[in-house]
Amino acid sequence: MSPTDQSAVRLRPEIIALPAYRQGKAAAASAFKLSSNENPFGPLPGVIAAVGAETAYNRYPDASASVLRERLAARYGCSPDEVHVGSGSVALLSQLILAAAGPGDEVVYSWRSFEAYPSLVTVAGATSVQVPNRPDHGHDLAAMAAAITDRTRVVIVCSPNNPTGTIVRAAEFEAFMASVPSTLLVILDEAYAEFVTDPDAVSGISLLGRYPNLVVLRTFSKAYGLAGLRVGYGLGPVAILDAARATAIPLSVTGVASAAAIASLDVDDELMERVRTIGIRRDTIWRALTEQGWNTPAPQGNFIWLPTGAETAAAAEALGAAGLVVRPFPEGIRISIGEEESVDELLRTCQDLVRNLPMGHSARRLG
């Protein structure tokens, strides 16, 4: 062991034990990167021009991203103070958890879900309470409500859920909100909301102003294709957002990121056309997989979920060998909807995979 492998400095043991954030694997030039739920379309010319015009790098950015906040407030019919912008929605998750939960407190969320949740909770010094997904891979909101104790300070609801792609229905969510104390912060993480086509899905935007304890998170990383610039936003009651703002690392949303987000809102129609294209591609892939015999939940984000269980490592390897870099989890494989050219190979490889799944495997449709 080298002298730097283990520090004599007293660090928090729960932090030392944390796994480092595992980023979606990079892809070779000849492969398709379907591991990080990114948008396969590059930025539109107007967005590139807005970024290029933002050259005052010698100056700090506007700490509150006020122009972007005003723009979002006008879009959603709320006040700019009811909008909070962060360097990605993951930053907002961190701030909200820090604002509400500390040592001895609990944060409830469904599991498996977004892999950043456990570490953000640990960093805050709080304790994760993970409620298993239902057998259909969706959130078990009744079980989540039942998991709330006097120590619970935050509940995170993720719709569509990363990595399973399932949505929470509006009626289910409203029943859940009615059953939880209004002193408990509920975060509705809607990183993939723009891809949703199921009319029964919850839409945080339609609930704004209804609940004193609800914050809705959105991002420019996925539908808007700005993952590399890091900008996301939260919508909700001013007092909660003020608390989040108080925990934020100041000045972390750059002027370039704000400019790109504003320019993206200017070309919203074109971007949403791309989102529709990705949604159609997703549904085509899902239907083909279902015909091949896969038992996989109807996807509502920009990714599909193969619940391959014990077969995951071998299946991910086969996909990788076919030039498709995907994201394996212990329970299954998440595959982002990528370039059109990736689809044929994906379906060919999945056809072989489903044929080779053991009889009775839960990822195989019965009959």
Task: List residues near ligand PLP by CB under 6 A.
Answer: 37, 88-90, 114, 158, 162, 189, 191, 219, 221, 227, 232
**Contact present, 110 and 136 (Cβ < 8 Å):** no
Q: Provide DSSP, 43-87.
A: PPHHHHHHHHH---TTS---TT-HHHHHHHHHHHTS-GGGEEEES
HSE toward the beta carbon, residue 314, CA cutoff 13 A: 10
Nearer to ligand PLP, 37 or 300 (CB): 37
Q: How far apart are CA 71 and CA 219, in angstroms?
A: 15
Is 350 in a helix, a strand, or coil? helix
Shortest spacing between CB 102 and ligand PLP, in angstroms: 22
Is 282 in a helix, a strand, or coil? helix
Nearer to ligand PLP, 105 or 189 (CB): 189
Nearer to ligand PLP, 207 or 216 (CB): 216
Shortest spacing between CB 329 and ligand PLP, in angstroms: 12
Shortest spacing between CB 321 and ligand PLP, in angstroms: 25
Shortest spacing between CB 361 and ligand PLP, in angstroms: 26
Nearer to ligand PLP, 221 or 300 (CB): 221
Nearer to ligand PLP, 166 or 219 (CB): 219
Shortest spacing between CB 303 and ligand PLP, in angstroms: 9
> H/E element holding 52?
helix 45-53
Is 64 in a helix, a strand, or coil? coil
Residue of this chain nearest to ligand PLP (CB atom): 88
Shortest spacing between CB 164 and ligand PLP, in angstroms: 11
Shortest spacing between CB 160 and ligand PLP, in angstroms: 8
HSE toward the beta carbon, residue 99, CA cutoff 13 A: 22
Query: Which amino acid does the sequence have at 234?
Result: G
Nearer to ligand PLP, 133 or 221 (CB): 221
Place of tokens 């015009």: 53
Nearer to ligand PLP, 272 or 347 (CB): 272
Nearer to ligand PLP, 133 or 219 (CB): 219
> H/E element holding 215?
strand 214-219
Q: How far apart are CA 74 and CA 294, in angstroms?
A: 44
Shortest spacing between CB 20 and ligand PLP, in angstroms: 16
Displacement of CA 89 from its chain's centroid (Å): 8
Shortest spacing between CB 10 and ligand PLP, in angstroms: 31
Query: Which amino acid does the sequence have at 15?
Result: I
Length of the chain, in residues: 367
β pairing state of 214-219 and 185-189? parallel
CA distances, 127 to each of 13, 111, 309, 319, 323 (Å): 14, 14, 27, 36, 39
Backbone angles phi and psi of 141, in degrees to 5? -65, -30
Nearer to ligand PLP, 271 or 354 (CB): 271
